[in-house]
Amino acid sequence: MTGEPSGKFEAIYTGAEAGGAKPPWDYGGPRPQFVEWAEARNLAGGGREALVVGCGYGADAEFLALLGFRTTGFDFAPTAIAGARRKYPASEVNGFVADVLDLPREWQGRFDLVVESLTVQSMPFEHHTVAAQNIAALVAPEGTLLVLATTRDEGSEVTGPPWPLTRAELEEFAIGDLILRRVERIESGAWWRAELSRGGAGSTSH
């Protein structure tokens, strides 16, 4: 099954590279809901490690690198990673092709900040729990996970893609000692912005 989503995303990026419509989730710069969160915390990397899940063309990852994080980004689609390298030729971001359902074991517990924006919801419902738990496992001790997703009310029907997240699905990121610290419903209720952390109240706030 792990090849199915990657094939779908690759086709979307390949079409965009050939002059078709850009991917619907590509904002063209760092996502405002993420930038707002970072600015409210005076976020500074100080050489710590950050990871962007489903990084696409790399705008969020570049934003983190500029803030001083040693940044890694990964995406299902090889064409997205190749596009990011062309777009940011002098980038210090480490870009990888990887599947959120089968991530490198050496990434577990490694990253001080993990940013997940719209990736889990791009996958069918049956993959949400595994994807969320795999992402959660990447967070280092004292690290923080930021989840951005569009909202869905419990019991509402959706055919997808995308498959927006319910409040209960946000809870699926909170495994082990990774605790859901704050949930905001933003953009007139259309988006979730959730912050989870291990250990203390989160190491990204200073």
Paired strand residues for 172:
none
Burial (CB count within 10 angstroms: exposed 0-12, middle 13-18, buried 19+), residue 40: exposed
Q: Identify residue 157 by its one-letter amino acid code.
A: E
Residue with the bigger pLDDT between 120 and 17: it is 120
* pLDDT score recorded for residue 67: 98
pLDDT band at residue 206, thresholds of 50, 70 and 90?
Answer: very low
**17 has a pLDDT exceeding 80:** no
CB atoms within 10 A of CB 14: 14
Question: Residue 138 in contact with residue 49, Cβ under 8 Å?
Answer: no
- Which H or E element spans position 63? helix 59-66
Model pTM score? 0.90
Q: Which domain holds residue 39?
A: 3-205
**CATH code assigned at 89:** 3.40.50.150
**Into how many domains does the chain fold?**
1
Helix axes 78-87, 3-17, angle to 10 degrees: 40
**2 has a pLDDT exceeding 60:** no
| pLDDT, tens digit, 9 for 90 and up, residues 142-199 | 999 999 999 999 988 888 889 999 999 999 999 999 999 999 999 999 999 999 999 7
* pLDDT score recorded for residue 1: 33
